[in-house]
Copies of this chain bind each other. A is one copy, B any other.
Amino acid sequence: MIELEFFFDFASQYSYLAATQIEAVAARAGATVRWRPMVLGAVFKATGNDMPARVAAKAAYMVRDVDRWAKRYGVPFRMNSHWPMPTVNAERLCLVADEQGLAAPFALVTFAATWAEDRDINQPAELARLAEAVGLDAKAALERAQAPEIKDRLRANTDEAVARGAFGAPAIFVGDQLFWGNDRLHFVEEALAAAAAR
């Protein structure tokens, strides 16, 4: 089975856009998705990159651009009034969901909460709601999310993404090939098809 690795941060609008499409992209190629949360701020720091929104003209453009993509995909999008909120706790909780085989549904409901429903995904009550939405025991899951091995795993995801060449989000890997952004999903599909043909 071919595996596509999807490194993302909930704070990233382009990660949301890609997330809405990635399972279908993989399914069309007979591949599976490994959902790998990372900390985008740490990726920027490690690579010397900047968040794109630091440039005012780019930030203004991005809002319109993300909206164009959302319309193209037929998915909802609204800027989040809490953004940029910390996303590290939601990402740790995604790794807890992953221990139960629930990373994909957890990521999808959390992306929707962030970029369609204007939720503050750093609030404990919201995190509990998201955990419950995918069938987790909220209290146990939130407690587990603070375990040292979960924190380490999020750091390890981030370090691995950087070591493999990522400098932004989403960072999508097919083997050692990196693809950056939802706007490269057609290249991801080609790489999956090539991998399937080998």
Q: State the interface size on chain A (CB cutoff 8 A).
A: 26
Chain B residues near A177 (CB-CB < 8 A): 64
Contact A183 B180 (CB under 8 A): no
Q: Chain A 149-182 against B: per-residue CB contact (8 Å), 1 yes, 0 no?
A: 0000000000000100111100000000110100
Give CA–CA (A55, B180) in the complex, Å.
Answer: 14
Q: Tell whether A68 is near chain B: CB-to-CB under 8 Å.
A: yes
Chain A to chain B contacts (Cβ below 8 Å), 19 pairs? A47-B55, A47-B56, A47-B57, A47-B58, A48-B54, A48-B56, A49-B55, A49-B57, A49-B58, A55-B167, A57-B162, A57-B166, A60-B165, A61-B167, A61-B178, A64-B178, A65-B180, A183-B183, A183-B184
A187 within 8 A of B: yes
Looking at chain A's contact residues, is the secondary structure mostly helix, strand, loop, or mixed?
helix
Knowing that A48-B55, A49-B58, A68-B187 are A-B contacts, what are 20 other residue pairs whose CB atoms are under 8 Å apart, sorted by A's residue number?
Answer: A47-B56, A48-B54, A49-B55, A49-B57, A50-B50, A55-B167, A57-B162, A57-B165, A57-B166, A58-B167, A58-B168, A60-B165, A61-B167, A61-B178, A61-B180, A64-B177, A64-B178, A65-B180, A65-B184, A183-B184
Distance between A170 CB and nearest chain B CB, rounded to angstroms: 13
